[in-house]
């Protein structure tokens, strides 16, 4: 996908370009509104138009809305997907976006996962050829994400709070257990989609709890996805956890990106 990155801030442009390249896109920079229009005209003349425009809202001379208006005045560019990134919104911005056919309106700084989900959503709307698709905002990816129920088995109070906050921020429902026995009790009361299982816990550790869960599943035919958590990231730990019946593995201290990647990889359907 050819993407035009329009932002008067060089650092912002460079970061977006680097991120897009990692995702396999072909980004081109533009330092302002007129530069963006010139780049789009050149791309059209070469019959290699941009599929997506990432457009900064606040720019000197010609702001993002003015650029979008100029783009929509050109029939050949009427279907180009435009996503606007803003440092601060004002009343009426959403209405202006809909009027100009801007697909998304997101606030900076934006997380990479949030941006990627927004781009995929925007491309999906374009493919579906919706007459007037809803405006994509920072809340849209969360609304599209399955409302998974997650059990966190962890004896450390700080890690409990951190894991719960990270997961709830992504829209997941979270229950916390302080050891393996509490985790088994929680599983008797309700069903969960994923379990984050600390390996070392008092009373009943993660390996014992996992063995008990897998033993129960012999009669139910179900399979609960279990992601191991261990403070000792040593060679062979991952293999040991998988051999014990766990489906995934992350190391502590907990990192947001690693935890989210693990749950989304494990929880997504094959």
What pLDDT, in 10s, does the model give residues 113-168? 788 888 887 776 554 444 455 677 655 555 455 568 999 999 999 899 988 888 88
Please give the share of the chain, as a percent, with pLDDT higher than 90. Answer: 46
CATH second-level architecture of 2-142?
A: 3-Layer(aba) Sandwich (3.40)
Q: Phi-psi region for residue 21, left (φ > 0), alpha (ψ -120 to 50) or beta? A: alpha
Predicted pLDDT of residue 270:
39
Predicted pLDDT of residue 138:
58
d(CA 115, CA 23): 11
Predicted pLDDT of residue 126:
53
Q: Which of 14-28, 134-148, 165-179, 249-263 has the lowest mean pLDDT?
A: 134-148
Close Cβ partners of 252 (under 8 Å, ≥ 6 residues apart): 159, 229, 230, 231
Predicted pLDDT of residue 211:
95
Interval 235-259: pLDDT, tens = 677 788 889 999 888 888 888 778 8
Predicted pLDDT of residue 261:
78
The residue assigned the tokens 């396999």 is 24
Q: What value does the mean pLDDT take over residues 200-222?
A: 92
d(CA 40, CA 42): 5
Q: Under CATH, domain 145-267 is a member of which superfamily?
A: Response regulator (3.40.50.2300)
Q: What value does the mean pLDDT take over residues 159-181?
A: 88
The phi and psi torsions of 227 (rounded to 5 degrees) equal -110, 120
Q: What value does the mean pLDDT take over residues 86-96?
A: 81
Would you say residue 15 has pLDDT above 70? yes
Tell me whether domains 2-142 and 145-267 share a fold.
yes
- Residue boundaries of the structural domains of the chain: 2-142, 145-267
d(CA 87, CA 9): 12
pLDDT band at 108 (very low <50, low <70, confident <90, very high): confident
């Amino acid at each position: 996908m050819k993407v035009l990155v329009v932002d008067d801030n060089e650092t912002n442009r460079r970061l977006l370009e680097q991120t897009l390249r990692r995702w396999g896109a072909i980004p081109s920079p533009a330092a302002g509104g007129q530069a963006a229009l010139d780049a789009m005209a050149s791309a059209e003349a070469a019959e290699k138009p941009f599929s997506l425009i990432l457009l900064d809202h606040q720019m000197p001379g010609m702001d993002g809305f003015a650029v979008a208006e100029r783009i929509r005045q050109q029939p050949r560019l009427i279907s180009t997907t435009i996503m606007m990134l803003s440092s601060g919104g004002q009343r009426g911005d959403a209405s202006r976006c809909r009027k100009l056919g801007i697909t998304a309106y997101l606030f900076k700084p934006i997380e990479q996962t949030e941006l990627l989900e927004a781009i995929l959503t925007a491309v999906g709307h374009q493919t579906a050829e919706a007459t007037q698709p809803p405006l994509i905002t920072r809340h849209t990816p969360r609304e599209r994400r399955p409302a998974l129920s997650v059990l966190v088995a962890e004896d450390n109070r700080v890690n409990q709070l951190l894991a719960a906050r990270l997961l709830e921020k992504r829209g997941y429902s979270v229950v916390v257990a302080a050891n393996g026995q509490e985790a088994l009790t929680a599983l008797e009361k309700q069903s969960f989609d994923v379990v984050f299982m600390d390996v070392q816990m008092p009373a009943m550790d993660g390996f014992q709890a996992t063995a008990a869960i897998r033993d129960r599943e012999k009669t139910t035919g179900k399979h609960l996805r279990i992601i191991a958590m261990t403070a000792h990231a040593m060679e062979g730990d991952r293999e040991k956890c998988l051999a014990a019946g766990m489906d995934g593995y992350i190391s502590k201290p907990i990192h947001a990106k690693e935890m989210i990647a693990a749950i989304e990889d494990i929880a997504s359907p094959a």
